[in-house]
Structure 1
């Protein structure tokens, strides 16, 4: 390709007949100037093309890197999703097992609490029945003849005490080997013995009932 300098330095041989030298020189000057402008523009465009090629190569490398990164990201994302699903499944299974265990423990505790509550209610019923029986026995005892002391009995006891006092005075006054009891004294003694026997019987019944109640209470505590 011709350069502007080569065009400017081009010379022609003279001949007898030919073009006007001035016109040829003027034309060459114009062509040289235009060609120089085109030449410089061509060089500039080539430089730009080279720069663009370099940039294009750089961007292609970046594109390859991005594609690799994108593929890696997609692979990683898929692996992450698969792993997350597996972890979610494991966590869900563990949560279900833990919930089942908690529910089972709660049922056991509820059953134990129900058993304890039932046992306490049964104990309460037994204690209530025993206390009612004890109160009824005490009430029956209070309503029995053992506590029905009338005026005649009080007089008999009083007479017995007076006779006993007189008998004691006589014994202190003189020794007596045999003493005949009067009919009133015999009656008073018999009434006193009957009263003591009744009290002893009632006391024995209360004692037996108390021992039975204490025995049942000890068995429940064991």
Structure 2
């Protein structure tokens, strides 16, 4: 997996008709910030899943303990007087209800986490697809722009127009990224 540090340390070869280094560096800085945020968020979510898995394990242990307690309570209830049996049955019923409530609560929490996880996976896929489309559109636009320059079809006003379109598209992508983070 690529880390934010890998992006930051990536060096590109320079060529005669290469990209402007400042623009590429600026764009990579933006990618590093966004990727680092997503990278940290992913780590936090993994930690949260681990914590919830531990809680589920505790609830399962509690369920086993409750079952064992019920068996002991049943045996004890048979050995005591009628009033003692009645008290034991009340305790058992309360323990079963509480255990079911805890288990149901834990299961609901797991379902919620799974839904959130699936939603985040989908959002990451959407972001990747949009970002990939943006990059591809920019490459096509740049190819057309440079072909126009080579053919002598591009004038200064066309260059300004293409720059304005590029800035508008970049603003749309930044807004999209910011909306996903909100």
TM-score for the superposition, normalised by structure 2 = 0.47
Largest Rg, 1 or 2: 1
- Taking structure 1 as the reference length, the TM-score comes to 0.40
